[in-house]
Amino acid sequence: MDQLQREDILRIARHSNISQQALSEVLNKYVYAGRKDWYKFLHIFLISLGVGFSVAGIIFFFAYNWADLNKFVKLGIIELLIVSSVCIALFTKLNQLVKNVLITGASVLVGVLFAVFGQIYQTGANAYDFFLGWTMSISLWVFVSAFPPLWLVYLILINTTINLYAEQVANHWSTVFLLLLLFCVNATSYIISLSIKKVKRHSKIPIWFNNSLALAAIVPATLGSSIGIFSEYSNEFLAIISITTIAFGLGIYFGYQFKSGFLLSIIPFSIIIICSSLFIKISDNEGMFLFTSLFIIVSVTLVIKNLIHLYKKWNHGQTATN
């Protein structure tokens, strides 16, 4: 029962004669945040804040004392911290959350270690090599821990690696193609996350993580489509506008089916941006700018009005069976 999701409870309520009072009690007990949930949030927040400040302190320590430290001391301190964090996570009986936070901190320190090593020995490696090595080195920890914040760090590293590779090596890639590639990577991650949550009903994938993945996919799709409109209509533009159209259609359908207000807000706003770019491309005179401004105002108003209507409808559906 502790693993019941909001959607499960509401689905049961719609097909039963449960009273509004009983439904409210169940929601308050298993869905809405209470004192215990706030305590857990503060516990996670303070642990994460402590590890974050510790890592930042280590970085600033090296920056301030760089010239006075021996190269073996520089490398030894970071390696000792990484090994200590991993050993504590593996061989102690601490809370699993604390262990995951320690592994996340160790993953960040791996990047610090690579940066210090490159600075000492002047390896001359490209920036994308640095982030690629960092990404590959923590892959095992990421997959084993299954910790959403660490997964988010991992995806940020992947996106950074792709961006730097395009900038330093693949100079022939167009901006639209790069954004299309980022969209495909992040959208695939989002689909995999949703599939895991659907197959494993008790998987602990938080909503904020899926929303972050959706945002990471929609932003490059919006930018790529808008930039492609102002550029020559290349094959990359046709590909990204086609894939974006299909993905946005599926996203809106999914948003209605699973009552995701996030998708039903961010996708229409993205469409408004793309349409505005198209209008300005057609004509960039004062009249078109005025029309585009009015279009944005009216469209945003309609989106907000529709979202309010949907929330009222969904909330009414929660109590319609009492």
**Nearest-angstrom CA–CA distance, 314 and 322:** 15
Q: What is the pLDDT of residues 233-257, one digit of tens each?
A: 678 888 999 999 999 999 999 888 8
pLDDT at site 2: 39
Report the mean per-residue pLDDT for the chain. 81
**Nearest-angstrom CA–CA distance, 86 and 305:** 50
Residues 65 and 42 in one domain: yes
pLDDT at site 1: 40
**Which domain-ending residue is among 172, 190, 209?**
172
Residues 192 and 320 in one domain: yes
Alpha helices by DSSP H, listed for 66-174, are 71-91, 96-121, 127-137, 139-145, 148-168
Residues 110 and 234 in one domain: no
If one compares 70 and 63, the residue with the highest pLDDT of the two is 70
For the segment 128-148, the average pLDDT, to the nearest whole number, is 89
Q: Residue 25: CB partners within 8 Å, gap ≥ 6?
A: none
- Does residue 17 form part of some domain? no
For Cα atoms 202, 204, 210, give the angle at the middle one, nearest 5 degrees: 120
Counting Cβ atoms within 10 Å, is residue 316 exposed (0-12), middle (13-18) or buried (19+)?
exposed
| C-alpha dist (Å) from residue 49 to 41, 98, 141, 217 | 12, 12, 21, 27
Q: Residue 175: CB partners within 8 Å, gap ≥ 6?
A: 224, 227, 231
User: What's the pLDDT band for 54 if we cut at 50, 70, 90?
Assistant: confident
**Window from 71-80, 184-193, 312-321 with minimum mean pLDDT:** 312-321
| pLDDT at 5 exceeding the cut of 90 | no
| pLDDT at 139 exceeding the cut of 80 | yes
Residues 99 and 164 in one domain: yes
Q: Residue 23 CB: number of other CB atoms within 10 A?
A: 19
Q: Provide the number of structural domains found in the chain.
A: 2
- Does residue 189 form part of some domain? yes
Residues 153 and 127 in one domain: yes
Q: What is the pLDDT of residues 223-234, one digit of tens each?
A: 999 998 888 767
- Does residue 5 form part of some domain? no
**Nearest-angstrom CA–CA distance, 317 and 224:** 38
- Does residue 6 form part of some domain? no
**Window from 24-38, 115-129, 174-188, 265-279 with minimum mean pLDDT:** 24-38
Exposure on the CB side of residue 234, measured as CA atoms within 13 A: 14
- Does residue 8 form part of some domain? no
Q: Which residue has the tokens 């809106």?
A: 252
Residues 60 and 191 in one domain: no
**Which domain-ending residue is among 157, 172, 187?**
172
Residue 147 near residue 104 (C-beta atoms within 8 A): yes
Residue 228 near residue 241 (C-beta atoms within 8 A): yes
Query: In terms of residue numbers, what domain contains 215?
Result: 175-322
Residue 233 near residue 225 (C-beta atoms within 8 A): no
pLDDT at site 181: 94
Q: Residue 224 CB: number of other CB atoms within 10 A?
A: 28
Listed residue (236, 231, 232, 227) closest to 184, CA to CA: 236
Residues 98 and 127 in one domain: yes
- Does residue 108 form part of some domain? yes
If one compares 119 and 141, the residue with the highest pLDDT of the two is 141
Residues 65 and 119 in one domain: yes
User: What's the pLDDT band for 4 if we cut at 50, 70, 90?
Assistant: very low
Taking CB atoms within 8 Å and a gap of at least 24, the contacts of 283-286 are none
- Does residue 216 form part of some domain? yes
| pLDDT at 3 exceeding the cut of 50 | no
Residues 125 and 246 in one domain: no
| pLDDT at 39 exceeding the cut of 50 | yes
**Which domain-ending residue is among 149, 172, 195?**
172
Alpha helices by DSSP H, listed for 200-285, are 207-230, 235-258, 261-282
